[in-house]
């Protein structure tokens, strides 16, 4: 490609009057030969100039009208990099600026026809952070092979890389491997180099995993004979080629990542000249669950996505965007930004990015859209939750209720009742199909907020009818660290705190006078079972007693008789930063939400009959991915996003919470059509309106009824879908207490106890007791939540907790 010193002259007459937008450069006036030369624009393409990471960034030089490339020179911090720039096939002058130091770097460009122009580029370490603030410590780097614990260090996870970390940020040298897709029938899409299972205790190393016996992807050797079973594929651009994939594995923001894409080993690839089989589209896979271990790990999601790879998509993941490995949603969004910049710098321009994930993966998809709109153009999600802060409300409510149902005061009221009658009361209070859904929350995430060492408490499957709790004899902690390194209020108050708020202390800040981070948990004023009382499902005495005994939790997540009280500043941060999912921001993203049934551990839809309850709990069903969650998101869109024209809900009532391969493929191709049309829309309409305007007919709402054994008949009548017992949206404990289905009021405003609210079902003595429970008043759900406000993000936490809006993006200016 022709370098700058021999580039052709651009169209236009030198010396002609120039006109460029003031937002791009400062212009010199036209006039005599003695006047200053016009100024070109230096524009970073892969990220804002102040958010760059890993030492490189793709840059475009935009000449003013009439100027030529004669004598054009570029340097970074005084080092000549002119050879990095050239006029490319698309007519643009671009180049990869690399080798930058951490901190401020000055890129300077001059030429015969233009004034000397400079742009300050702020580069951040590959290991992060960029804008999420200080990283929590201790944090244990992965090793080439898993290692057992020592007296002071936990077991390490296997990195899938051959070298060890080079620094405290767990940066490990990047490696590349080639694989080919086999033509073998019945092959496994499991990873051909599987990561050993993550060790969930601090002392036991993960077990060694073995590759599948018949992997769909096998190692490919350059220069060797062509494998007899090498498959071919035809991309969505119609290009047919050998199905060979290159996998880049490295580290970014302390996470381990994989980038997989179709690759021709005989040809070069650069950001300014990508290989043609990549269609410029990225599928970003987010991992499920939620956690905050202090150990580096491989991604939980696999790169072996035939649906995407075969069509020419790039498949991307990073363990710091797996919800199980990182529950700091700002850091997670930052990691996506860093990964996208890396792709742009090394592979080329991205046409659009689709987020994909279930459960915690859906949280991360929605959180990207809310915290930093624009990172994802569309999302295809299943078993969907809006965000972790408001989901934590239901977890905390269920924990408090499950414990309350085993307290003597409640059990005394249940004397003489049949188990069915007792459980009907619990279901009415919980808002769920039955009592077991709260058991699901209690078992899987009820201890996730524990700050220190604890003994896991669960309701075993065999106890779903009685709700009797059992406690594990083995101590554990959520940091996956040795107990000696973990917080203890007496013996180690300065130890690592292992809940989500302390993991994200750079976002929340510390609570005054406490080692704990500020947090958003609050149930002050919440009248559990209010609608159950009003409907007659529970008695006045049961209602009052329940609210007397339910209590709350302290900062260490120990149960307390008093209600939980949120930190006011944490509430402000949660809303302002978009950590509570913003309907206004989500409206900027195309959404296909595939909602399966997971509303109970004991009431199972067709297809699950005969499966033991122990297998259902945690394998086939969790009881926590409730139907109403999709409509909670819709309510936020309707209230704050101008409607839900950007969201399609596809419900299915037969196969649990995971969509079939048929539905998943339909979602993939429909989203591809949607975003292709969106990117082609050059109108002046807002992004939100463009998304609604380009929504394809295939992206309408529908359901597959549980009675449909073939799961093939699409029903578009919402009332018919809602009438299906396995598709009906139910509610939550907070909604039964009077809260909105949007479920985004973390802390309610209060009003005095009003006897009229109880329909004459409470006597004077009971009202007096209720006033004693709620001396400050009860929730007034007609008002916004305390601290509830519009999202103002993206916010930077580089200067400390609380966050500040990003300043205007840096622009190039004439050098004085």
Angle of helix 419-430 relative to helix 388-404, nearest 10 degrees? 150
Find the helix packing angle between 764-773 and 540-549, rounded to 10°: 20
Concatenated DSSP letters of 525-591: T--TTHHHHHHTSS-HHHHHHHHHH--EE-TT--EESSPP---HHHHHHHHHTT-SPPHHHHTTSEE
Q: What residues are paired with 352 via a beta bridge? A: 281
The span from the CA of 597 to the CA of 658, in Å, is 9
How far apart are alpha carbons 613 and 634 in whole angstroms? Answer: 32
- Taken in order of first residue, the domains within the chain and their CATH numbers are 4-124 (2.60.40.10), 125-300 (no CATH), 392-576 (no CATH), 583-716 (no CATH)
pLDDT value for 33: 52
Distance CA 335, CA 135 (A): 13
CA distances from residue 700 to 631, 696, 716 in whole angstroms, order as listed? 15, 8, 8
Asked if residue 568 lies in contact with residue 520, where contact means CB atoms within 8 angstroms, the answer is no
Order of all β-strands in the sheet with 314-318: 217-219, 175-181, 244-252, 255-262, 314-318, 281-285, 352-358, 378-382, 590-595, 647-652, 702-704
With beta carbons less than 8 A apart as the criterion, state whether 128 and 167 touch.
no
Supply angle C-alpha 647, 653, 655, rounded to 5. 105
Q: Measured between alpha carbons, how far is residue 60 from residues 39, 77, 95, 101 in Å?
A: 14, 18, 7, 20
What phi-psi label fits residue 478: left (phi over 0), alpha (psi between -120 and 50 degrees) or beta? alpha
For the residues of 395-458, what is the DSSP string, one character each?
HHHHHHHHHHTTSHHHHHHTTT--HHHHHHHHHHHHTSSSTHHHHHHHHHHTTTT--S-EEEEE
Ramachandran category for residue 717: left, alpha or beta (phi over 0 → left; psi -120 to 50 → alpha): beta
Burial readout 251-287 (b: 16 or more C-beta within 10 A, e: otherwise): bbbbbbbbbbbbbeeeeeeebbebbebbbbbbbbbbb
What's phi and psi for 560, nearest 5 deg? Answer: -130, 155
Question: Which residues are CB-neighbours of 715 under 8 A, at least 6 positions away?
Answer: 702, 703, 704, 705, 721
Q: Computed over its alpha carbons, how large is the radius of gyration of the chain? A: 29
144: which DSSP letter?
A: S
What pLDDT is stored for residue 150 in this prediction?
74
368: its two tokens: 């990207």
For the stretch 233-241, contacts whose Cβ atoms lie closer than 8 Å and that sit 24 or more positions apart, written own/partner, are: 233/181, 233/262, 233/309, 233/310, 233/311, 234/310, 235/262, 235/277, 235/279, 235/310, 235/311, 235/312, 236/279, 236/311, 236/312, 236/672, 237/276, 237/277, 237/279, 237/312, 239/276, 239/277, 239/312, 241/277
What is the residue whose two structure tokens read 């059509």? 673
Three-class SS of residue 60?
strand
Q: What is the per-residue pLDDT for 34?
A: 58
The first and second tokens of residue 764, run together, are 């004077």
- Please name which of 771, 780, 761, 756 lies closest in space to residue 533, comparing C-alpha atoms: 761
Cα angle for residues 234, 237, 238 (degrees, 5° grid): 45
Q: What is the maximum span of the chain, computed from C-alpha positions, in angstroms?
A: 101
**Partner residues linked to 357 by β-bridges:** 381
pTM (two decimals): 0.94
Nearest to 687 by CA among 695, 696, 678: 678
CA angle 561, 562, 568 (to 5 degrees): 150
pLDDT averaged over 10-residue windows placed end to end, the chain, 816 residues: 36 32 33 72 98 98 95 97 96 97 98 96 98 96 89 85 96 98 96 70 58 94 95 98 98 98 97 97 97 95 97 98 97 98 98 98 98 98 98 98 98 98 98 97 97 97 96 95 94 97 98 96 98 98 98 97 98 98 98 97 85 72 96 98 98 92 97 98 98 98 96 97 97 98 98 97 98 98 98 96 97 91
Closest Cα to residue 613, out of 764, 440, 427? 440
With contact defined as beta carbons under 8 Å apart, do 248 and 184 qualify?
no
What phi and psi, each to the nearest 5 degrees, are found at residue 65?
A: -55, 135
Instruction: Supply the pLDDT for residue 14.
Output: 34
């Amino acid at each position: 490609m022709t370098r700058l010193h021999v580039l052709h002259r651009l169209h236009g007459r030198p010396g002609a009057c120039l006109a460029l937008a003031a937002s791009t450069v400062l212009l010199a006036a036209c006039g005599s030969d003695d006047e200053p030369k016009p100024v070109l624009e230096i524009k970073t393409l892969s990220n804002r100039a102040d958010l760059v990471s890993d030492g490189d960034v793709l840059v475009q030089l935009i000449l003013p009208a009439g100027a030529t490339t004669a004598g054009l020179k570029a340097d970074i911090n005084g080092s000549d990099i002119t050879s990095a720039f050239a006029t490319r096939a698309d007519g643009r002058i671009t180049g990869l600026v690399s080798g930058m130091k951490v901190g401020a770097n000055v890129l300077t460009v001059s030429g015969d026809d233009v004034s000397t122009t400079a742009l300050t580029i702020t580069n951040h370490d590959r290991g992060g952070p960029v804008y999420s603030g200080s990283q929590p410590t201790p944090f244990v780097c992965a090793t080439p092979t898993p290692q057992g614990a020592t007296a002071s260090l936990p077991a390490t996870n296997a990195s899938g890389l051959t070298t060890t970390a080079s620094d405290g940020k767990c940066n490990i040298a990047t490696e590349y491997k080639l694989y080919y897709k086999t033509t073998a029938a019945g092959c496994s899409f499991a990873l051909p180099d599987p990561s050993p299972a993550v060790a969930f205790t601090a002392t036991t190393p993960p077990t060694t995993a073995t590759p599948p016996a018949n992997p769909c992807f096998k190692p490919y050797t350059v220069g060797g004979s062509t494998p007899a079973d090498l498959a071919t594929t035809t991309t969505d651009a119609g290009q047919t080629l050998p199905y060979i994939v290159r996998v880049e594995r490295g580290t970014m923001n302390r996470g381990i990542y994989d980038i997989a894409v179709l690759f021709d080993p005989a040809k070069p690839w650069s950001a300014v000249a990508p290989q043609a089989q990549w269609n410029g589209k990225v599928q970003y896979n987010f991992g499920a669950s939620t956690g905050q271990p202090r150990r580096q790990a491989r991604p939980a999601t696999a790169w072996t996505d035939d649906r995407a790879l075969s069509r020419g998509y790039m498949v991307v993941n990073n363990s710091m965007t797996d919800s199980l490995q990182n529950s700091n949603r700002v850091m997670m969004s930052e990691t996506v930004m860093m990964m996208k910049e890396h792709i742009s710098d090394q592979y080329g321009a991205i046409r659009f990015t689709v987020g994909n994930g279930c459960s915690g993966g859906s949280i991360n998809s929605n959180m990207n859209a809310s915290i930093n709109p624009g990172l994802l153009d569309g999302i295809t999600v299943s078993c969907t939750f809006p965000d972790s802060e408001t989901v934590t409300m239901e977890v905390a409510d269920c924990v408090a209720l499950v414990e309350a149902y085993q307290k003597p005061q409640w059990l005394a009221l249940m004397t003489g009742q049949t188990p069915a009658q007792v459980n009907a009361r619990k279901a009415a209070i919980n808002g769920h199909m039955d009592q077991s859904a709260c058991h699901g929350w209690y078992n899987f995430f009820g201890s996730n907020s524990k700050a220190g060492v604890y003994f896991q408490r669960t309701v075993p499957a065999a106890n779903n009818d009685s709700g009797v709790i059992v406690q594990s004899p083995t101590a554990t902690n959520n940091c996956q660290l040795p107990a000696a390194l973990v917080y203890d209020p007496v013996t180690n108050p300065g130890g690592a705190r292992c809940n989500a708020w302390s993991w994200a202390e750079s976002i929340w800040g510390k609570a005054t006078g406490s080692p704990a981070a500020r947090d958003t948990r609050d149930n002050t004023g919440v009248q559990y079972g209010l609608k159950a009382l009003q409907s007659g499902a529970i008695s006045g005495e049961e209602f009052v007693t329940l609210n007397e005994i339910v209590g709350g939790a302290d900062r260490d997540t120990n149960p307390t008789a008093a209600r939980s009280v949120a930190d006011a500043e944490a509430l402000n941060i949660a809303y302002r930063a978009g950590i509570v999912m913003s309907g206004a921001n989500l409206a900027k993203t195309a959404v296909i939400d595939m909602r399966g049934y997971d509303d109970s551990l004991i009431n199972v839809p067709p297809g699950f009959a005969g499966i033991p309850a122990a297998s259902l709990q945690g394998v086939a069903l969790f009881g926590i991915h409730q139907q109403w969650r999709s409509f909670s998101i819709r309510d936020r869109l309707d209230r704050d996003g101008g409607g839900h024209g950007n969201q399609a809900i596809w419900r299915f009532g037969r196969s649990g919470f995971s969509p079939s391969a048929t539905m998943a493929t339909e979602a993939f191709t429909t989203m591809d059509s949607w975003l292709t049309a969106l990117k082609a829309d050059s109108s002046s309409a807002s992004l939100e309106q463009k998304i609604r305007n380009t929504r394809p007919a295939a992206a309408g709402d529908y359901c597959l009824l549980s009675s449909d054994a073939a799961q093939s008949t699409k029903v578009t009548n919402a009332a018919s879908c809602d009438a299906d017992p396995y598709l009906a949206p139910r509610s939550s404990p907070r909604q039964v207490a009077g809260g909105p289905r949007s479920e985004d009021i973390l802390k309610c405003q209060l009003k005095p106890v009003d006897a009229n609210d109880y329909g004459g079902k409470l006597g004077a003595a009971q009202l007096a007791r209720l006033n004693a429970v709620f001396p400050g008043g009860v929730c007034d759900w007609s008002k916004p939540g305390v601290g509830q406000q519009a999202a103002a993000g993206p916010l930077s936490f580089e200067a400390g907790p609380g966050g500040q809006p990003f300043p205007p993006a840096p622009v190039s200016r004439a050098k004085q």
